[in-house]
């Protein structure tokens, strides 16, 4: 008992009686037999009942997406999908399904309205399996490299990534916000633990409705003591290589279901990532038809042009100070720029990581807060960290959903989240 299709659909089990549970993904009825495709998390298998079988009348009642347990003899059948077939000897129906609303050819909005049912499709299941591998690999990477897993609150009193994307909520008689990033708390925890990470949801009231923005996304963040920008980029590269390598090892079946060309994924594992400073990135964009001035911010459209031309991920480094939040450390050799990096995924995807070296000096921090229009009094505890034994430190945030989207090469971030949240969608 408790066997999956992938455990039994093999030469070893031919001629034996097997019991499987699952959902019926397809039904074909003939005059003398009924064929069911039984689906479980591992695979699908063809099951058949002939008119002379005692199970025939009950099998004939079964509808698409009904759930059941069946027992029968396994045999090889070259014509069946997967190459095996079970002749049904015994049957227990858990739930007889009403007519299933999802059929081939539905539009995206209908499918997301029925996300709770659409999740069962082979394609979506494949994406979710890859998503699971990505999360597993992130935890594995940090745990194997001596990081502590630490949590920060989701209810917070102020902004990290700019006020325009803050979700305001009523917190008893006060105002509070949903966290945009664990970073400020991480900078406190890093003083005692030195190497920490988290994987948690972050929230952004992004009204931009692009193909790569969610209002709730999964954020893998890390903070490391005594690490500079250069070392940080090395850490980012090792993490991304580890994740992609694991997916290539574990998820060949799923990548093939998605018809994912794997060249760029293999490149990301085998070749070094590029490193370019901000001005070179602007030059590259302009060489490819854009007309950007130095000082222009890079959004999805610009990054699409830049990364369509590349065959490995690229670090875009040292942005002008005006383009980045207060916590980035100004470059000592050119304080008009900061020691930051965005890691841009190839094939048009763009930013999957944002990070950098942090301001470690109290006066600079207070000035930077004011320049960003923030009140230093609201950041008293954060400023304290620069008053009592400041250390050089760096960190980054990886958008896990964006990484999954690129690995699967999908056109919209909603496809990689079980129940996505966007400005227009909070159901189901
Ligand atoms: O670049 P961001 O805003 O950086 C931070 O939040 C830093 N405080 C992280 C840190 O240093 N600890 O966000 C980091 C990453 C982005 O590169 C992107 O991949 C993802 O988070 N991200 C989003 N993903 C989906 N939907 C959104 N609305 C996102 N906003 C950011
Ligand atoms: Mg960013």
Q: Which atom of ligand 1 is nearest to the CA of 342?
A: 17
Q: Is 207 exposed, middle or buried (0-12, 13-18, 19+ CB in 10 A)?
A: exposed
What local confidence, expressed as pLDDT, does residue 207 receive? 80
Q: Cα separation of 362 and 212, whole Å?
A: 35
What local confidence, expressed as pLDDT, does residue 140 receive? 98
C-alpha dihedral sign at 389, 390, 394, 398: positive
Q: Is the pLDDT of residue 405 over 70?
A: yes
The residue nearest atom 3 of ligand 1, judged by CA position, is 161
The residue nearest atom 21 of ligand 1, judged by CA position, is 399
Q: Which atom of ligand 1 is nearest to the CA of 165?
A: 28
Residue 3 and residue 18 in contact, taking contact as beta carbons nearer than 8 Å: yes
Q: What is the DSSP string of 271-293?
A: SPPEEEEHHHHHHHHHHTT----
CA of 264 from ligand 2 middle (Å) equals: 23
CA of 423 from ligand 1 middle (Å) equals: 17
CA of 204 from ligand 1 middle (Å) equals: 9
Q: Which atom of ligand 1 is nearest to the CA of 356?
A: 11
What local confidence, expressed as pLDDT, does residue 424 receive? 93
**Ligand 1 binding pocket includes 22 (Cβ within 6 Å):** no
Q: 374-378: which pairs have CB atoms within 8 A and are 24 or more residues apart?
A: 374/158, 374/159, 374/326, 378/157, 378/158
Q: Which atom of ligand 1 is nearest to the CA of 325?
A: 8
Q: Cα separation of 286 and 305, whole Å?
A: 9
Share of the chain above pLDDT 90, in %: 96
Q: Cα separation of 205 and 59, whole Å?
A: 50
* pLDDT 10s digits, 359-403: 999 999 999 999 999 999 999 999 999 999 999 999 999 999 999
Ligand nearest to the backbone CA of 356:
1
Confidence of residue 1 (pLDDT cuts 50, 70, 90): low
User: At residue 135, what are phi and psi to the nearest 5 degrees?
Assistant: -60, -45
Q: Is the pLDDT of residue 209 over 80?
A: no
What local confidence, expressed as pLDDT, does residue 225 receive? 98
Q: Is the pLDDT of residue 164 over 90?
A: no
Q: Hey, how many other C-beta atoms are within 10 angstroms of the C-beta on 128?
A: 17
What local confidence, expressed as pLDDT, does residue 227 receive? 98
Name the average pLDDT for the chain.
Answer: 97
Average pLDDT over residues 51-76: 97
∠ at Cα 81 (77, 86), nearest 5°?
50
Q: Is the pLDDT of residue 158 over 90?
A: no
Scan for tokens 């990886």, then name that residue: 398
Q: Is 15 exposed, middle or buried (0-12, 13-18, 19+ CB in 10 A)?
A: exposed
- For residue 81, what are the CA distances in angstroms to 5, 9, 36, 351? 12, 11, 11, 40
Give all domains of the chain, ordered by start, each with its CATH number. Answer: 5-95 (2.40.50.140), 113-416 (3.30.930.10)
Scan for tokens 């490995």, then name that residue: 312
What local confidence, expressed as pLDDT, does residue 162 receive? 84
Average pLDDT over residues 10-15: 96
Q: What is the value of pTM for the model shown? A: 0.97
* pLDDT 10s digits, 220-244: 999 999 999 999 999 999 999 999 9
Q: How far does the chain reach from its first CA to its final CA, in angstroms?
A: 34
Confidence of residue 208 (pLDDT cuts 50, 70, 90): confident
Q: Is the pLDDT of residue 329 over 90?
A: yes
**Ligand 1 binding pocket includes 354 (Cβ within 6 Å):** yes
The residue nearest atom 27 of ligand 1, judged by CA position, is 213
């Amino acid at each position: 008992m408790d066997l999956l299709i992938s455990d039994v659909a093999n030469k070893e089990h031919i001629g034996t009686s097997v019991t499987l549970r699952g959902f019926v993904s397809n039904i074909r009825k003939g005059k003398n037999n009924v064929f069911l495709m039984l689906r479980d998390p591992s695979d699908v298998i063809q099951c058949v009942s002939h008119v002379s079988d005692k199970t025939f009348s009950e099998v004939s009642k079964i509808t698409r997406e009904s759930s059941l347990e069946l027992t029968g003899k396994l045999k090889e059948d070259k014509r069946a999908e997967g190459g095996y077939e079970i002749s049904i000897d015994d049957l227990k129906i858990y739930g007889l399904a009403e007519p299933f609303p999802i059929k081939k050819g539905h539009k995206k909005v209908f499918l997301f309205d029925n996300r709770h049912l659409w999740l069962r499709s082979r394609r979506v299941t494949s994406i979710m399996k890859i998503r699971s591998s990505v999360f597993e690999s992130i935890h594995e990477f940090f745990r194997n490299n001596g990081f502590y897993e630490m949590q920060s609150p989701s209810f917070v009193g102020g902004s990290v990534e700019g006020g325009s994307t803050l979700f305001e909520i009523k917190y008893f008689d006060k105002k509070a916000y949903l966290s945009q990033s664990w970073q400020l708390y991480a900078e406190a925890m890093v003083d005692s633990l030195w190497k920490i990470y988290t994987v948690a949801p972050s929230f952004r009231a992004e009204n931009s409705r692009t193909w790569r923005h969610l209002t709730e996304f999964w954020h893998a963040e890390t903070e490391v003591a005594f690490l500079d920008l250069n070392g940080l980029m090395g850490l980012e590269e090792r993490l991304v290589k580890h994740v992609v390598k694991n997916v290539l090892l574990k998820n060949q079946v799923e990548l093939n279901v998605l018809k994912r060309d794997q060249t760029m994924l293999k490149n990301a594992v085998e070749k070094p990532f590029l490193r370019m400073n901000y001005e070179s990135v602007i030059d590259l964009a302009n060489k490819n038809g854009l007309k950007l001035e130095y000082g222009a911010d890079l959004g999805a459209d610009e990054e699409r042009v830049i990364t369509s031309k590349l065959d490995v991920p690229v670090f875009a480094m040292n942005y002008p100070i005006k383009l980045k939040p207060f916590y980035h450390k100004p470059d000592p050799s050119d304080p008009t720029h900061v020691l930051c990096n965005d890691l841009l995924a190839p094939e048009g995807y763009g930013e999957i990581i944002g990070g950098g070296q942090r301001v470690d000096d109290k006066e600079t921090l207070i000035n930077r807060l004011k320049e960003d229009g923030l009140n230093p009094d609201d950041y008293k505890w954060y400023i304290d960290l620069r008053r009592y034994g400041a250390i050089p430190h760096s960190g980054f945030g990886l958008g896990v959903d964006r990484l999954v989207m690129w690995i699967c090469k999908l056109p919209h971030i909603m496809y990689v989240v079980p129940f996505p949240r966007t400005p227009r969608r909070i159901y189901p």
